[in-house]
Structure 1
């Protein structure tokens, strides 16, 4: 072993070797081995840091796109609801009149005026007859509601949104494409970015026609035009590639402003080809920028329910962002690489120097070989002993984890098992006493007393053993319910009893009195494991946050009622309540008042998701200085769609 370590120095006698030459040759060999490897590690480290920085920005880009889609969907949904409300109000007023409402009656004008006044984004309401002729038209201008004279009403039968709306069914709402509003053949100035909702009106005695509402989206698009990060930009385009939102507003609405060159297909051909490839979400690196896109199937210009990709949300890194990321990464990698290279050169210098010194001592070291071999054997023995001790430590930790898992069961089993042992001991003593009576003379009264005592002892032992079996069965049910996700029919009271049994140590330790008012007739067909988890999170939340140390007489009441196929579960405590600021965002993720105690703020967020998504229910909370009450409403019989995951 010693000779192999110094092969690079040769086998010549120490006094005949040119030490300086050996030193520099050995140092050069080692550096030639490690420097390329270090450079490779530096390149890999650079790529890792670059990808990490880029991924963070991509997450922000994805978040900006998702936020825009959510805001747009929310806005469109609100416009649909307002249109349906207007339609319903119009139908009600028509039904309550002895004569049908005329298309241009004062009542309809007043109704249109009310809705235009109440809705800030609605700026125009019209009623068109079956041929598309405007019969009544109100617009909002400078916060004033204007009724357009009859001689200014025009025929809209040729417009694309009117032709498309002819195919909608009664009671359905048609959403037009998003575009600039056109009045009297000209694009309205200043631009009004408009989406139209259309419903067919066909009431008894009233001439058939179409209710058309114009809503402006300027504020929504302006928010995202100026709100994006400096590192990336947000773009929105329609199905033909025309820009609806662009960092340069002059390039928007090219199809309506006679600028067909302002189009994705012209400006970013490779990006447009990638979008058209069929992938809903993707990315492409072109024109010196990284682009991420999302193809959306929306209700815009939809009639039969077969949604088409008619909307594209694109985010792109700003010019120079990639170079900036590369530069920032190099600023970190280059100094680290220089430090590592310097350290390796110094380390190898020391190693080679030490080898030269070791070579000079080679002869002396030969005399100590036997001693070193003996030391190596001892070291091997010690290493084996250490390995065995490490294995034992691993097993000990496994057993410790197992002990923690069964601690809750052991705590509950302690009382019935202890009582059983006491009873058995008493019976054993009575048996010894009976043996003595048999030898000395057994009386009838003593026998009856012995039998009566044994009967009571066996009954007590049986009850305690049955209690042990119930505890074990309860924990078994709870474990199976938590491990599976299948619909089952079960009693809510049994489910809660199993849960309370598993967390009894925590309840007793905090001195909380749990009062349960759930009838045996509350039977559900649902997910018992999820319901148990929801109840546990709410109970833990009440104990941890509602009852801080020092609260007197803490009480938690759990009740359930059944009404019209719904089960309403209430958990109310008399704790300190929830601050108004926290209550407004209580079900948001990472909201907690106990982060210093290790709480993550995900408990109630998960409860909200379980209740609303998995259990198809709803949850609400009320709170004051005298306590907090959570109300969970879930269906008595949960119906799960086949496609639900």
Structure 2
């Protein structure tokens, strides 16, 4: 029993002090007073740490959720932008390699503007979002220009053609070596020195001609309308997470307040990221990715994306994707994370204070009892000694009981293991005993005269016993073994040896969500040991385009369906790969030109018409093979691909 300092006789307290002592009588005992202060300080510390921890965890949870929204918006915007830039690059490349355009720009004679205008018009009619297609000579003069206005395509007469030598995009593009495609920054379209109304956010992409390509020297240039893309990106913004886009100079291309957009073109220098948030602008100039940083009270995530090459800057022309959550919302998040911590701290203080008060009161009561029992201490020493001995014996008994329980638990564990191994091990022991008995009988038979039949019986019994003994021991071994998982190597785009079946299985796993959602089943008839030497990545891309094409077009108006992948080799050591489906087939008006660029039956649904064209290019140029489409009598569509089994680096 704890001892305390004896109570000192003091003058009776009066007033407030008397009332305080009636509620906190232990305050009159110095030892308890010190202990109470220490415990109270510890309680306050626990309350503070608990409140801080709850606040921190809740705030991090809220910020984590907001960051996930930020990452989703930035990833979606990046995909949209990258896909659009890829389409623009492909359009410029197709124009550059077009045979008729090459003929119209042939260096062997004068420029044939009629051919160029006709071919430019054909491309303009088949492409979405193209505002202009033109060719400029090395002095910056527009020689042929096609303008697209809604659904009309117009060739500008010579009197309306302009000189663009002073425009930055002409100077920059003429410094980019082909076959690299030049991309300008995003700005508003300007004609005859005036901004086109309504605003036309424009990206210019071009490629030089006349550099070892047999064409006239100049620049093949398109103006690409970014209004539809920017509207799609604007729709990615959520209520508290807005998507903004700034150009290389920090001027807003996309902003929740539309009046702040295109400050560079409109001469509004105050609508600039470097002016409105200088800390963020400095960070973006140093690093390419910002994830969930608090700047000026706002939670900001950002990513720099390069549009393409430009000599007006040291590197590629960048745009900055920025997602920001306002300072007002972050303040609300802070408050939502603070008040649960404060509430928890209040509960800890109230409950802990009450428990502390109760404990100190009990200590005070024990203190009073201890004083009363002080005089009886000597009389109770003998009793206390006996009690101590009893307690000691009880402690020993408790220790023995603990050890007994441990042994009991160990016995139960051993019994469980024995139960698991009892059947195979017991069987093995029984067979060992049986074999020993047969050996004893054989030994006696040797002494009394061994017959051929007895020896044959012994051999037969021994063989059967040893076989059963081996099975029981293997069964016991299986119960204590574990299996390892095998890792599947991913395919490489380098020329390597690979198994075609493995490439197909890997691809189908990656497309499982789409196939399940569309109800399409893919059946594979490819031998496991079919090995090829070539580009597994290209083969996988070809199969993916064909499977996705079948799901999107072949089964568009159907519920469920089946795609078959079959592969075999012929006598010429070629692979015959067939991709078939039982869908709706292909329309007769595009059946003969499905491998041409921009041919699609779903242009209004987002299809660019380049999928099968790319498949044809990969098969013929990289795999050195051939591809053709067939329409089986039972319906659907089938693609037959033939390419060498071994592809060399040549």
State the TM-score bracket (shorter-chain normalisation): 0.5 to 0.7
Q: How does 1:442-453 map to 2 (within 5 A)?
A: 442=450
Q: How does 1:257-272 map to 2 (within 5 A)?
A: 257-272=266-281
Is the alpha carbon distance of 1:159 and 1:385 closer, same or farther for their aligned partners in structure 2, counting shifts above 3 Å? farther
Q: Counterpart of 1:316?
A: 324
Q: Counterpart of 1:253?
A: 262
Q: Does 1:22 align with 2:31?
A: no
Q: Counterpart of 1:162?
A: 170
Q: Counterpart of 1:621?
A: none
Cα distance in 2 for partners of 1:394, 1:426 equals 32
Q: Counterpart of 1:273?
A: 282
Q: How does 1:487-526 map to 2 (within 5 A)?
A: none
Of the three residues 131, 135, 156, the one matched with 1:123 is 131
Cα distance in 1 for partners of 2:253, 2:414 equals 61
Q: Does 1:39 align with 2:48?
A: yes
Shift of 1:62: 3.4
Q: Which runs of 5+ in 2 are unaligned?
A: 14-20, 517-523, 544-557, 563-643
**TM-score between the two structures when normalised by the length of structure 1:** 0.61
Cα distance in 2 for partners of 1:246, 1:55 equals 24
Of the three residues 227, 252, 259, the one matched with 1:218 is 227
Q: Does 1:67 align with 2:92?
A: no
1:44-87: per-residue Cα shift (whole Å, max 9, x none)?
43243233323332332233223322321222112212322333
Q: Counterpart of 1:3?
A: 2
Of the three residues 128, 149, 174, the one matched with 1:141 is 149
Q: Counterpart of 2:62?
A: 53
Residue correspondences, number: 501
Is the alpha carbon distance of 1:387 and 1:45 closer, same or farther for their aligned partners in structure 2, counting shifts above 3 Å? farther
Is the alpha carbon distance of 1:422 and 1:293 closer, same or farther for their aligned partners in structure 2, counting shifts above 3 Å? same
Cα distance in 2 for partners of 1:396, 1:114 equals 86
Q: Counterpart of 2:548?
A: none
Shift of 1:187: 1.8
8 Å contact 1:94–1:100 — kept in the other structure? no
8 Å contact 2:92–2:205 — kept in the other structure? yes
Is the alpha carbon distance of 1:452 and 1:254 closer, same or farther for their aligned partners in structure 2, counting shifts above 3 Å? same
Q: How does 1:177-576 map to 2 (within 5 A)?
A: 177-202=185-210, 206-278=215-287, 280-281=289-290, 285-296=294-305, 298-302=306-310, 307-308=315-316, 310-362=318-370, 363=372, 367=380, 371=387, 374-375=390-391, 378=394, 382=398, 434-435=442-443, 438-442=446-450, 479=484, 559-565=528-534
Is the alpha carbon distance of 1:112 and 1:378 closer, same or farther for their aligned partners in structure 2, counting shifts above 3 Å? farther
8 Å contact 2:497–2:531 — kept in the other structure? no
SS at match of 1:146: strand
**TM-score between the two structures when normalised by the length of structure 2:** 0.61
Superposition CA RMSD, Å: 5.6
Cα distance in 1 for partners of 2:396, 2:446 equals 70
SS at match of 1:311: strand
Shift of 1:100: 8.3
1:489-528: per-residue Cα shift (whole Å, max 9, x none)?
xxxxxxxxxxxxxxxxxxxxxxxxxxxxxxxxxx9679xx
Shift of 1:189: 1.6
Cα distance in 2 for partners of 1:347, 1:446 equals 88
8 Å contact 2:25–2:361 — kept in the other structure? no
Larger radius of gyration, structure 1 or 2?
A: 2
Cα distance in 2 for partners of 1:341, 1:333 equals 12
Cα distance in 1 for partners of 2:484, 2:313 equals 44
SS at match of 1:340: helix
User: Which moves more between the two structures, 111-120 or 456-465?
Assistant: 456-465
Is the alpha carbon distance of 1:396 and 1:426 closer, same or farther for their aligned partners in structure 2, counting shifts above 3 Å? closer
Cα distance in 1 for partners of 2:201, 2:413 equals 66
Is the alpha carbon distance of 1:145 and 1:33 closer, same or farther for their aligned partners in structure 2, counting shifts above 3 Å? same
1:128-182: per-residue Cα shift (whole Å, max 9, x none)?
2333322222222122222222221112233222222223333332222222222
8 Å contact 2:263–2:272 — kept in the other structure? yes
Is the alpha carbon distance of 1:558 and 1:48 closer, same or farther for their aligned partners in structure 2, counting shifts above 3 Å? same
- Select the structure with the greater relative contact order (CA < 8 A; seq sep ≥ 6): 2
Is the alpha carbon distance of 1:356 and 1:121 closer, same or farther for their aligned partners in structure 2, counting shifts above 3 Å? same
Shift of 1:324: 1.0
SS at match of 1:230: coil
Shift of 1:119: 2.7
8 Å contact 1:424–1:461 — kept in the other structure? no
Cα distance in 1 for partners of 2:62, 2:468 equals 67
8 Å contact 1:104–1:135 — kept in the other structure? no
Cα distance in 2 for partners of 1:55, 1:171 equals 44
8 Å contact 2:299–2:327 — kept in the other structure? no
User: Which moves more between the two structures, 303-312 or 216-225?
Assistant: 303-312
Cα distance in 2 for partners of 1:419, 1:92 equals 87
8 Å contact 2:308–2:317 — kept in the other structure? no
8 Å contact 1:282–1:292 — kept in the other structure? yes
Is the alpha carbon distance of 1:226 and 1:113 closer, same or farther for their aligned partners in structure 2, counting shifts above 3 Å? same
Is the alpha carbon distance of 1:344 and 1:217 closer, same or farther for their aligned partners in structure 2, counting shifts above 3 Å? same
Is the alpha carbon distance of 1:208 and 1:67 closer, same or farther for their aligned partners in structure 2, counting shifts above 3 Å? same
SS at match of 2:324: strand
8 Å contact 1:230–1:318 — kept in the other structure? no
Is the alpha carbon distance of 1:316 and 1:205 closer, same or farther for their aligned partners in structure 2, counting shifts above 3 Å? closer
1:255-304: per-residue Cα shift (whole Å, max 9, x none)?
221122322222222332333345743666444434343344x2423479
Q: Counterpart of 2:182?
A: 174
Shift of 1:426: 8.5
Cα distance in 1 for partners of 2:82, 2:50 equals 47
8 Å contact 1:53–1:325 — kept in the other structure? yes
Is the alpha carbon distance of 1:3 and 1:112 closer, same or farther for their aligned partners in structure 2, counting shifts above 3 Å? same
